[in-house]
Amino acid sequence: MNPIEHLSAAAKAAVLSEALPYIRRFSGATVVVKYGGNAMIDPALKEGFAKDIVLLKLVGINPVVVHGGGPQINDMLNRLGKEGQFVQGMRVTDSETMDIVEMVLGGHVNKEIVSLINMHGGKAVGVTGRDGHFIRAKKLLVDTPERQNIDIGRVGVVESIDTDLIQGLVEQGQIPVVAPIGVGSNGEAFNINADLVAGKLAERLGAEKLLMMTNIAGVMDKAGNLLTNLTPKRIDELIADGTLYGGMLPKISSAVEAAVNGVKATHIIDGRVPNALLLEIFTDSGIGSMILAQERSGV
């Protein structure tokens, strides 16, 4: 249940008043949202996310959504009786698997998100990097302690992004919803980590914010305390002492790179919290971890 439903009229008015300076500040700005985790699975959170995206657009902010879909891909592969193989946590993706990935991400998942946003009054348009070839990709080679440059198939990294398609949609009042599929030099499709695509897209668009939705509260220290206003230097220290490890590292890496390359602030937020986007953007306290290119006061 949405906690705001239990607020008094006066409390709701106070929430709106607190949001006003942020609405003024970010009106006309672009925010890139990496959508994933429980927020993509729980029906109430899915609907809440769609409403939040529509509200951002209505108050003059330009959201661009980049989504994942790992659980949905796993489910489809299981249905087809195809067993997955992984190297260093990366799915080995042969041509048949890539066809399934493209069907799930570019078809089912993307269109479901688009439909939800449009049902709540938005004008969303779904695209993949193959549309207009706007995300150019090259093959990712994986290193292990035993071997280097392992070819795991049609898994890619972003080589370049042409933002004309996305900017054109935004200028037309649309909400782009991007599936993280790139195109290679021979026209072949590549599956790309959604965090990486979101970070690179935020850089190229000169986004005000990059918001990465996860299933955790944010970056935590070893005592379980939420850390915010993090800089690349502080993050290096957290990696060195073992606080950050495993699956959090690609997300952190994308967030730091985006901040260093011009995105004013990146945020790792808990997508399990209703209205997480609104709480992070429109309240004084926010709810997640902010990552900045360097220390600054007054944030």
On whether the CB atoms of residues 288 and 217 are closer than 8 A, the answer is yes
Across 114-171, the runs of DSSP E, i.e. the strands, are 124-128, 135-142, 150-161
Cα gap 224→165, rounded to integer Å: 42
Cα gap 151→236, rounded to integer Å: 29
CB atoms within 10 A of CB 291: 29
One-letter amino acid of 5:
E
Cα gap 298→296, rounded to integer Å: 7
106 has binding-site annotation = no
Cα gap 270→247, rounded to integer Å: 15
Question: Which residues, in sequence order, are bridge partners of residue 135?
Answer: 161
69 has binding-site annotation = yes
Cα gap 81→278, rounded to integer Å: 40
272 has binding-site annotation = no
Element (H, E) at 66: strand 62-67
Classify strands 209-214 and 175-179 as parallel, antiparallel or unpaired.
unpaired
Query: Which residue is listed with tokens 């992984």?
Result: 86
91 has binding-site annotation = yes
On whether the CB atoms of residues 250 and 195 are closer than 8 A, the answer is yes
On whether the CB atoms of residues 140 and 152 are closer than 8 A, the answer is yes
Binding residues for substrate: 69-70, 91, 191
Binding residues: 69-70, 91, 191
